[in-house]
Amino acid sequence: MGQLFGHTDPAPDAGWTDAGPRKGFFTDTSICIGCKACEVACKEWNQLPAAGAGEGGGLLGSSYDNTGALGADTWRHVAFIEQDSGRIAAARESGRRLVDLGMPTLSPAAGGSMDGARSPRVDALAAAGASDGIGAPGGAGAHAGLDVLGGTEGSAHPDTPEFRWLMASDVCKHCTHAACLDVCPTGALFRSEFGSVVVQDDVCNGCGACVAACPFGVIERRADGVSEPARQRPQAEAVGHSQGGIAQKCTLCYDRLTEGEQPACAQTCPTESIRFGERDELVERARRRVGQLHSQGMTEARLYGANENDGVGGTGSVFLLLDEPEAYGLPPDPRVCTADLPGMYARAGLAAAGMLAAAALAFARRGGRA
């Protein structure tokens, strides 16, 4: 029952007797530079078609964010969110309320990091690589990020007190209590030995129950009814995939993990904004990173997915956000549909007991009259 609700270690609870520590992601959006290398690496490794391919689509044309959203063809999606000074102040204030640390303001006089001359994201990159164990091993990733930005002072990076980009690489959350897996009628989704949630293409019948169940809107049916990339499609049609389209999403690069490799997106990220590893260690690292950002006055920093008491039991993919989850298109209080099962069972049991008691009473009265 631990798979449906309550505290659980997902892989052992799914029957893996030799499962190692649960694996996951920590995505630190404060050092994401929006290069989309993770998206490209994911598409390349998993042979995914370009977003909108086959529908006359291609690029959105309305934003640097040319893929728009997670979907059957986009298992990693880097969101670009533009914020003005009002929204930045609101984000900071909401973070202050959230953590109640009584942090100083960020005015230049107060020595805040948003001084207009040095980008806070540059500061964040530098801080993330500091020798406190939060940065990359050897600080390599953070230095790569600084190189990408072309240095620190006088950087052309667009963050200022009046404007900033929030860039965040979104992905399947690999929920502790995964609604997609719970509702799948064919068993096409399974819990891997790494604790991730994986779709078996050849078992999926394309019914779409998982699509409706996912509280994050991650999983999607491929519209053209095949799972393989375009250049292999004739072969895919030959093996008779459902014409309704099969459900697709990030597998946490299951094929790479079984070979001892890390996911393609994490391996590619030049700033190590995406980190892969043991979930518990990543959550610890994420908590230290939030504390570091708070101490720099960035009170809007907060974790998403790290709370094992949330509506999905916490997630395998943990995020450090710089605004409320809604700003990133994430639900503030995700909830797996099976979370209500204990209450439903209790009410059903109560109703059954009531009916039994009423029937017994009726028989007893009838017996008494006879």
Binding positions for ligand SF4, rule: CB under 6 A: 41-42, 45-46, 75-76, 171-175, 178-180, 197, 214, 216, 218-219, 249-253, 263-265
Residue the block writes with tokens 């909401």 = 94
- Closest distance between ligand SF4 and the C-beta of residue 98, in Å? 23
Hey, is 84 helix, strand or coil?
strand
Give the DSSP letter of residue 261: P
- Side-chain half-sphere CA neighbours of 140 within 13 A: 7
Q: Give the residue with the Cβ less far from ligand SF4, 25 or 165.
A: 25
H or E, element range at 277: strand 274-278
Residue 128 or 184 with smaller CB distance to ligand SF4: 184
**The token pair that represents 209 in the structure block:** 């129950």
Residue with smaller CB distance to ligand SF4, 33 or 179: 179
State the minimum distance, in angstroms, from the CB of residue 78 to ligand SF4.
Answer: 11
Instruction: Tell me the two tokens of residue 176.
Output: 């502790």
Supply the minimum distance, in Å, between the C-beta of residue 44 and ligand SF4. 9
What angle, rounded to 10 degrees, do the helices at 140-149 and 120-128 form? 160
* Residue from 290, 214, 285, 293 nearest 247 by CA: 214
C-beta closer to ligand SF4: residue 14 or 172 = 172
Q: Residue 268 CB, nearest distance to ligand SF4 (Å)? A: 8
Maximum C-alpha span of the chain: 98
As measured in angstroms, the least distance from the Cβ of 201 to ligand SF4 is 13
Residue number, 167 or 298, with CB nearest to ligand SF4: 167
Rg (CA), the chain: 24
How far apart are alpha carbons 59 and 61 in whole angstroms?
A: 6
Q: Which tokens sit at 47?
A: 């042979």
Nearer to ligand SF4, 157 or 173 (CB): 173
Show Cβ contacts of residue 131 under 8 Å, excluding neighbours closer than 6 positions: 139
Nearer to ligand SF4, 40 or 90 (CB): 40
Question: To which residue do tokens 């991650």 refer?
Answer: 218
Query: What single string gives the DSSP state of each residue in 143-188?
Result: HHHHHHHT-STT-----BTTEEEEEEEEE---BSS-HHHHH-SS--
> 75 or 328, CB closer to ligand SF4?
75
State which residue, 23 or 157, has the beta carbon closest to ligand SF4: 23
CB 85 within 8 A of CB 162: yes
Any residues with CB less than 8 A from the CB of 259 and at least 6 apart, and which? none
Choose between 74 and 113: whose C-beta lies nearer to ligand SF4. 74
Strand partners, 24: 277
Tell me the torsion sign for CA atoms 266, 272, 273, 279: positive
The minimum distance between CB 143 and ligand SF4, in angstroms, equals 23
DSSP state of 103: P
